[in-house]
Amino acid sequence: MTRELGDKMVADPRFKLLTFTGSPSVGWRMKERAGKKKVVLELGGNAGVIVDKSADLDWAIKRCLVGAFAYAGQVCISVQRAFIHEAIWDEFMRRFVEGARALKVGDPLDPTTDLGPMVDANAASRTERWVDEAVALGGKVLLGGKADGTFFPPTILSDVPPTAQVCSNEAFAPLVVAFPFSDFDDAITGVNDSMFGLQTGVFTNDLAGAWRAFSELEVGGVIVNDVPTFRIDHMPYGGVKDSGLGREGLRYAIEDMTEIRIMVLAQPQ
């Protein structure tokens, strides 16, 4: 479909629903032109994960490696920001870096490959520029950080200010920025300090903390004891803030495509 045809469909009143998955800049502009039709937007994010001191560390590390680096991080709910309790910071970071370093980068058709190429060389070089900016702002590269053509290695950063591109925007790359925290509420505040709000993972064995996270996190989904990258088709999937509008998932997509009507039968008295 051409861009010209797409623009016509967005504004054509014969179409009653507009659904779009892509960048916030494009999605919100489409909504502005959509007129009176319903709009469903899934616009990505910079997903956070919280690992509390009560978490099962083995499980949290294993899942964070998958959530951060599967598909070379090119998933809108890929782990991008990791908030790790200071009591487990040293052990988590040591084992997380070791695990990421052991991942095999290569041909995605090779069954032994863990991490394939990015969509193109421009995406890889853009990620490297964002890493360079983070370093210039005081960040530390614990692993990776340099592109090799279309490949970008597993990359882990720390001491990065929240205003850096790798924190504030969607990296869509195999890149994680880690932050230590001492108070659980500070981790929640850190996740919420974002224009995005798609999903967040919370690793904890404190049920009260899990409920507090669910109550206070400004996201469309809270995944307890797994990464924000978790998604199944029959769950309501979508975000708040710049991450989008409405929900995907079979039942919820059908509801968006349905105009609710009511008929009232009154009995004459």
2 has pLDDT over 90: no
pTM, whole model, 2 decimals? 0.94
- Tracing tokens 């193109």 back to the chain, one arrives at 120
pLDDT tens digits for range 241-257: 999 999 999 999 999 99
**Domains plus CATH for the chain?**
3-43+235-256 (no CATH), 48-224 (3.40.309.10)
Q: Looking at residue 7, what is its pLDDT? A: 86
Least confident residue range of 17-21, 74-78, 103-107: 17-21
Residues labelled catalytic:
42, 76
Greatest pairwise CA separation for the chain in angstroms = 81
Intra-chain end-to-end CA distance of the chain, in Å: 59
Confidence of residue 268 (pLDDT cuts 50, 70, 90): very high
Which ranges constitute the DSSP H helices of 76-227? 89-101, 121-136, 165-168, 184-192, 207-216
Kindly report, residue by residue over 64-89, the tens digit of the pLDDT: 999 999 999 999 999 999 999 999 99
Which residue has better confidence, 193 or 3? 193
Residue 217, pLDDT above cutoff 80: yes
Whether residue 55 has pLDDT greater than 90: yes
Quote the pLDDT of residue 23: 87
Burial pattern 32-41, b for ≥16 Cβ within 10 A else e, equals eebeeebbbb
Rounded Cα distance between 265 and 256, Å, is 26
Question: Assign residue 253 a region: left if phi > 0, alpha if psi is -120 to 50, beta otherwise?
Answer: alpha
pLDDT at position 51? 98
Instruction: Determine the pLDDT at residue 157.
Output: 98
